[in-house]
Every structure is written in C-alpha cells, then in structure tokens.
Amino acid sequence: MKRSVLWVFGLSVVLNGGAGLADGGAVARIGASSEFVELSHQSDGRTMIDLLPLHRAGDVRYFSAGIGLEERAAQYPPFSLKLVFTAGGKPFLSGVSVTIQPVKGGVAVMIPQEQVEGPWLFIDVAPGVYDVTAIHRDRTQGLKRIAVVAGKQKTIHLRWPEDRGLAGALPTD
C-alpha cells in the first residue's frame, strides 16, 4: 500500500486522540487500527498526518521510514531494532530485503524489499541475539550476533560500498 497524506486541522487531531507535536517536531505513533504508523507534523499552520504501513511477520511488527525531513526528524515508537541502509556514501537506500534469524533457533523474520520504502527499518523483535542479512540488488551484507536488549533500541548501520542500481542503467556520453 502506498503512503498517503491526510490533511487534518490540529484541533481534530487532538479531539480524535492523535499524537501531540512536541516543540513543533514530528511525532509518530501506532494508529488505532494497528495497520499504520501515524506521523504527525506541522506544515503551513496545519497538522499533517502521514501514514506509514505497519507490517507483520508472525508476532513481529515492522515499518520503514526516513524519507524527507519530517520523517528523519520524527520521534518514533520504541521498536527494539533499527536498521539504517546506505550505499556509496549516500544517506538513503531503500528496496532492501532483510532476514533476521534468532541465534538460538526459532522462526526467522523475512522482510521483502517491497516493504522497505525508506532507508530506516524499525523492527519490534523480542530481546535476544540475532543474525541479520540484508540484500540490495545483488549484494549482501550480514551481521552476526546482534544483541537486542529489553527497553533499549539497537541501531545498526548497513553500508554497501556503492549503489550499482542506477549506474548501469544510465547512458554514458
């Protein structure tokens, strides 16, 4: 599902239980339907709400963000794992497929590239130790034994040396 933008006046956001905006910054919260993360921010005196799809793989919830200034400046729900994707020195990379495997066995969380629309991926995994594999186009990055602790967010940066996706597609003179 594509992200959609709803224009809502600040008063209606408050009356309908929307997130408040701390110091004019963007705030995100899980929506009442549990199908979206609602990102509230101010623009031209109005409150805007961007809806970010909230996905599930078994008991694990996850969502992608980090596109645009509002998303990069927002306060997000405290999901236990945040993955940040970059390539070739660029701060933004999307379309990454991810597998998170518990080291002590159990069901792997598999996230398809179509659900990673931004360079940040927030995953609400249980405390434990995980192996993480991420694939962008034909290149794989892997990290072993990532410890996720209860009550803390673990941020992991996955960097590819270059973004080969567009380089081959552009004509050269």
Where are the domains positioned within the chain? 4-161
Contact (CB, 8 A) for 83 and 124: no
Bridging pattern class, strands 128-136 and 154-160: unpaired
Burial environment of residue 32 by CB neighbours within 10 A (0 to 12, 13 to 18, 19 or more): exposed
Is pLDDT at 22 greater than 70 in this prediction? Answer: no
- pLDDT of 24 reads 55
Residue 92: per-residue pLDDT: 81
As a whole number, mean pLDDT of residues 91-120 equals 94
Note the pLDDT of residue 88. Answer: 83
Is pLDDT at 9 greater than 60 in this prediction?
Answer: no
Asked if residue 14 has pLDDT above 50, the reply is no
Proportion of the chain above pLDDT 90, given as a percent: 60
Confidence of residue 33 (pLDDT cuts 50, 70, 90): confident
Residue 112 phi/psi, 5° resolution? -75, 150
Mean pLDDT of 79-89: 92
Answer for the pair 74, 65: CB distance below 8 angstroms, yes or no. Answer: yes
Tokens of 158: 């996955």
82 beta partners: 122, 155
Q: What's the token pair of residue 169?
A: 């597609």
- 120-154 pLDDT tens trace: 999 999 999 999 999 998 899 999 999 999 999 99
> 29 with 77: CB under 8 angstroms?
yes
Predicted pLDDT of residue 41? 87
Kindly indicate whether the domain formed by 4-161 is annotated with CATH number 3.40.50.300: no
Token readout for 81 is: 């794992």
